[in-house]
Amino acid sequence: MDIFDKAYAFTEAKEAIEAGIYPYFIALTENEGSEATYQGHRLIMCGSNNYLGLTTDPRVREAAIQAIRRYGTSCTGSRFLNGTLELHEELENELAEFVGKEAALVFSTGMQANLGAISALVMRGDYVILDKEDHASLVDGAKLSFGETKRFNHQDVTQLERILQRLPDDSGKLVVVDGLYSMEGDIAPLPEIIPVCKKYGARLMVDDAHAVGVLGCGRGTSEHYGVTRDVDLIMSTFSKSFASLGGFIAGDEQIVHYIKHHARSIIFSASIPPSNAAAALAALRIMREEPERVEHLGKIADYMRKGYRQLGFNIGNSTTPIIPVIIGEKMLTVYTWKRLFDEGVFVNPVLSPGVQPGRELLRTSYMATHTFEQMDRVLSIFEKVGKEIGLI
């Protein structure tokens, strides 16, 4: 058998392209934050993770430009060797202070942060316990570790406790959850999870990729609940609210120091480019100085949840700027995406295995730079398409 046989047999995407309903890898001509252009077609962007709208902020752009002028385009080496700049450490210090931890460590991507941190900490005889809706990078980090992985049903703290109860008392245990779940927009119940972790001697890591800049005055899920001291590790990415590319892990200094010297994804990967580090630092400072961005984002999200519900759409349990419109059938989801796209709204169709079969949805997400006029236009288009297709 030729190992390439599976590739030759994969025709589904090409068939969708030929049918004009392929919804992925769309090459935008322009992406100006709250709006985008595709082949001259203007769209309101409701499919981005640019929650604070900082990718087009002149201060963030200028910080990236100045970093290139000073440092060049790359460090051409890993953080472990020649790839650490004072800029990286300045960013780490401010990140740690922002999320309320002793230390932080910057990786080149958010995925690398999760792969590196989990695989560095979880050894043979240890256990990593994941929510079944955790991000793929957390699942892959667990797979890369030498420990054993356990999964509990989404947000089911009772099942989490049953799992922990059955594990050996002398084993290392790391519970890992998303703070804000990226598909359905719901928030992990940290006040319920923390006592269970403490009862069974488990450490808790929270992936706040979608929560920093959104929850807790921008500081994330732990701050949202007021439980930062009780969360052992906080992770987040720069590719969302930070308007850049990269990621970090934050926690007690000794734990971050250990990860720094054992995470293969930081030791064997080139460091984050200066321009990305500088952009993330500029975005972080704007988050601190302009809390009204987070406030406006919350108002936009409230407005859209109310609007979708009044129209009769199923948006699940979202309480955040990530609002799923649940369709529940694969081809109908793709067709609805195409009609919305043609009418001028960019959203993301999410199919199995991204969600459970029967839970296929349109992932919509919102920015602090969206206006209520734009949102009224989006709701009007959703109403038109929803009635046309029979969704409402």
Measured CA to CA, the distance from residue 133 to residue 295 in angstroms comes to 27
The predicted structure's pLDDT at residue 353:
86
What is d(CA 184, CA 294) in angstroms, rounded to the nearest whole number?
Answer: 20
Helix and strand counts by DSSP (H, E) for the chain: 15, 14
> How would CATH label the architecture of 5-55+291-389?
Alpha-Beta Complex (3.90)
pLDDT of 32 over the 90 cut: no
3-state secondary structure of 37: strand
Q: If you average pLDDT over every residue of the chain, what do you get?
A: 97
| CA 224/CA 260 separation, integer angstroms | 28
Q: What is the pLDDT of residue 352?
A: 86
How far is 382 from 116, CA to CA, in rounded Å?
A: 41
State the average pLDDT over residues 94-106.
98
3-state secondary structure of 20: coil
- Residue ranges, comma separated, of all CATH 3.40.640.10 domains in the chain are 57-289
The pLDDT score that the predictor gives to residue 391 is: 95
Measured in residues, the chain has a length of 392
C-alpha–C-alpha distance, residues 109 and 97, integer Å: 20
325 vs 347: CA distance, rounded Å? 10
Looking at the chain, which residues constitute the CATH 3.90.1150.10 domain(s)? 5-55+291-389
How far the first Cα of the chain sits from its last, in Å, is 49
57-289 architecture in CATH? 3-Layer(aba) Sandwich (3.40)
**Which residues on adjacent β-strands are paired with residue 49?**
none
pLDDT for the residue numbered 58: 97
Instruction: Tell me what pLDDT residue 257 has.
Output: 98
Q: Where are the beta strands (DSSP E) in the chain?
A: 30-31, 35-38, 41-45, 103-107, 127-131, 148-152, 173-178, 203-207, 233-237, 247-251, 322-326, 345-346, 348-350, 361-365
Read off the pLDDT of residues 42-81 as tens digits, 9 standing for 90 and up: 999 999 999 999 999 999 999 999 999 999 999 999 999 9
Looking at residue 132, what is its pLDDT? 96
| Token pair listed for 346 | 């960019």
Q: Which residues contact 302 (CB under 8 A, 6 or more apart)?
A: none
Looking at residue 360, its amino acid is E
Each residue of 330-379: pLDDT tens digit? 999 999 999 999 999 999 999 988 888 999 999 999 999 999 999 999 99
Which pTM was predicted?
0.96
The predicted-structure confidence for 239-264, as pLDDT tens digits, reads as follows 999 999 999 999 999 999 999 999 99
Q: Give me the pLDDT at residue 320, please.
A: 97
For the cut 90, the answer to whether the pLDDT of residue 268 exceeds it is: yes
Q: Read off the pLDDT of residues 118-160 as tens digits, 9 standing for 90 and up.
A: 999 999 999 999 999 999 999 999 999 999 999 999 999 999 9
Q: Output Rg (C-alpha) for the chain, integer angstroms.
A: 21
Burial call 285-309: b when 16+ CB within 10 Å, e when fewer: ebbeebeebbebbbebbebbbebbe
Mean pLDDT of 302-331: 97
| Angstrom distance (rounded) from CA 284 to CA 242 | 7
Q: What is the pLDDT of residues 81-91, one digit of tens each?
A: 999 999 999 99
Q: Could you write out the DSSP letters of every residue in 129-183?
A: EEETT--HHHHHHHHHSSSEEEEE-TT-HHHHHHHHHHS-TTS-EEEEEESB-TT
- The arithmetic mean of pLDDT across residues 167-180, rounded, is 97
Single-letter code of the amino acid located at 57: D
In order, the DSSP letters of 254-301 are HHHHHHHHH-HHHHTSBPPPHHHHHHHHHHHHHHHH-THHHHHHHHHH
